[in-house]
């Protein structure tokens, strides 16, 4: 079972925890303890949530009331246990939440920009910690005087994408059109970028539309390839959770982030980045002389390559002519060249297993 939180800040009087059933989950009631801790590590709020597998919906939403908390930043540890003192090895999901302060302002769509449906996603860094939110409202709260990445998409095919920093309420008009690619670059204070990519892959697997790409040991990109309106809160909650996991667990703090927006040549950009990654992977793999080295190289590169493959396949299925020149998997057209690379990589894994 996976746990996701679609918004961590700035929060009002509540936030949501989503428990998501996986195919391998046994038919039983699963207990989780939501434990909110202050900066000193003391539990200031706790409650239990339950997911009855086979009875409850596969994705169950649990509202957490935080009206009793003061404004500020808190750590949330969610344990697969009956209280906030679990034994070692207990499954744990951790994030930070930002209880809204008076220094929040309203960010929204201009009154003349009024599509039938809209979607807002924001990311910001405060006190060295990453926060995000996704909403179908026309306006959301963001912290004042802080760099905030904002993505607003409308069913009319237009979008606003960029970094804003404002001390007062702000309304915007579109500055982009769908499809586009937004690339957020995060810089860490320690060489842990590969750990971020691995944490992302381990927590959520390979999601379509979101890729974590390592630039160097200190830098990684979060790439959001947008070919349609919005991004489901569950995808955002799980995708960012994978990044937050490594930070909350003490691997690194975020120093800053920048954003690069591409409005054209999205496919060419992603394919080129992916192919360069494959070249680096093959170069490192070829110089290995034992299976331990090969496994380390595979663990380093394969999660990112497969993330690119999934995203490129999804983009092709959305941007193509409607004819699938490949294999249709779960409603997504996976091109033959992607399948060929996947088979090649799978073959390397089999070779590694056989040689153990």
Using one digit for the tens of pLDDT, what is the confidence trace for 263-304? 667 777 888 888 888 889 889 988 998 888 988 888 888 878
Is 286 buried (19+), middle (13-18) or exposed (0-12) by CB count in 10 A? exposed
The pLDDT assigned to 194 comes to 84
Quick one: pLDDT band at residue 323, thresholds 50, 70, 90? Answer: low
The pLDDT assigned to 271 comes to 82
- At residue 8, what are phi and psi to the nearest 5 degrees? -115, -10
Q: Indicate the average pLDDT of the chain.
A: 81
Quick one: pLDDT band at residue 173, thresholds 50, 70, 90? Answer: very high
What percent of the chain shows pLDDT beyond 90?
Answer: 35
Q: In whole angstroms, what is the distance from residue 249 CA to residue 50 CA?
A: 25
Q: Is the pLDDT of residue 140 over 80?
A: yes
Instruction: Give the global pTM.
Output: 0.77
Using one digit for the tens of pLDDT, what is the confidence trace for 56-104? 999 899 999 999 999 999 999 999 999 999 999 898 888 889 998 778 9
In the chain, the largest separation of any two C-alpha atoms, in whole Å, equals 64
- Which CATH number is correct for 2-99, 2.60.40.10, 2.60.40.1930, 1.20.1250.20, 3.40.50.2000? 2.60.40.1930
Quick one: pLDDT band at residue 351, thresholds 50, 70, 90? Answer: very low
Q: Is the pLDDT of residue 339 over 80?
A: no
The pLDDT assigned to 353 comes to 41
Convert the chain into a string of H (helix), E (strand) and C (coil): CEEECCCCCCECCEEEEEEECCCCCCCCEEEEEEEEECCCCCEEEEEEEEEECCCCCCEEEEEEECCCCCCEEEEEEEECCCCCCCCCCCCEEEEEEEECCCCEEEEEECCCCCCCCEEEEEEEEECCEEEEEEECCCEEEEECCCCEEEEEEECCCEEEEEEECCCCCEEECCCEECCEEEEEEEEECCCCHHHHHHHHHHHHCCCCCEEEEEEECCEEEEEEEECCCCCCHHHHHHHHHHHHHHHHCCCCCEEEEEEEEECCCHHHHHHHHHHHHHHHHHHHHHCCCCHHHHHHHHHHHHHHHHHHHHHHHHHHHHHCCCCCCEEEECCEEEEHHHHHHHHHHHHHHHHHHHHC
């Amino acid at each position: 079972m996976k746990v996701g939180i679609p918004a961590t800040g700035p929060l009002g009087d509540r936030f949501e925890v989503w428990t998501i059933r996986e195919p391998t989950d046994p038919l039983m009631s699963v207990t989780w303890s939501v434990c909110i801790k202050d900066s000193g590590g003391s539990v200031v709020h706790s409650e239990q949530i339950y997911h009855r597998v086979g009875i409850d919906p596969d994705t169950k939403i649990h509202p957490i009331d935080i009206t009793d908390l003061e404004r500020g930043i808190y750590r949330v540890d969610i344990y697969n246990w009956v209280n906030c003192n679990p034994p070692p090895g207990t499954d744990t999901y951790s994030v930070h939440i930002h209880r809204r302060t008076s220094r929040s302002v309203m960010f929204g769509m201009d009154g003349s920009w009024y599509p039938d449906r809209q979607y807002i996603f924001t990311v910001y860094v405060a006190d060295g910690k990453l926060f995000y939110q996704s909403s179908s409202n026309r306006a959301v709260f963001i912290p004042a005087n802080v760099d905030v990445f904002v993505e607003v998409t409308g069913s009319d095919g237009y979008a606003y994408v960029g970094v804003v920093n404002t001390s007062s309420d702000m309304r915007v008009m579109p500055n982009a059109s769908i499809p586009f690619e937004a690339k957020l670059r995060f810089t860490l204070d320690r060489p842990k970028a590969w750990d971020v990519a691995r944490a992302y892959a381990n927590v959520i697997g390979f999601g379509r539309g979101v890729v974590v790409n390592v630039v160097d040991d200190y830098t990684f990109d979060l790439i959001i390839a947008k070919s349609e309106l919005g991004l489901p809160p569950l995808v955002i909650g799980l995708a960012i959770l994978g990044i937050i996991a490594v930070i909350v667990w003490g691997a690194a703090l975020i120093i800053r982030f920048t954003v690069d927006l591409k409005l054209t040549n999205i496919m060419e950009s992603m394919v080129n980045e992916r192919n360069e990654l494959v070249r680096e992977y093959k170069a490192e793999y070829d110089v290995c002389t034992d299976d331990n080295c090969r496994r380390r190289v595979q663990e380093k590169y394969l999660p990112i390559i497969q993330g690119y493959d999934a995203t490129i396949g999804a983009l092709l299925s959305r941007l193509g002519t409607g004819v699938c020149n490949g294999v249709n998997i779960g409603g997504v057209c996976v091109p033959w060249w992607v399948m060929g690379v996947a088979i090649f990589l799978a073959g390397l894994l089999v070779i590694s297993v056989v040689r153990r």
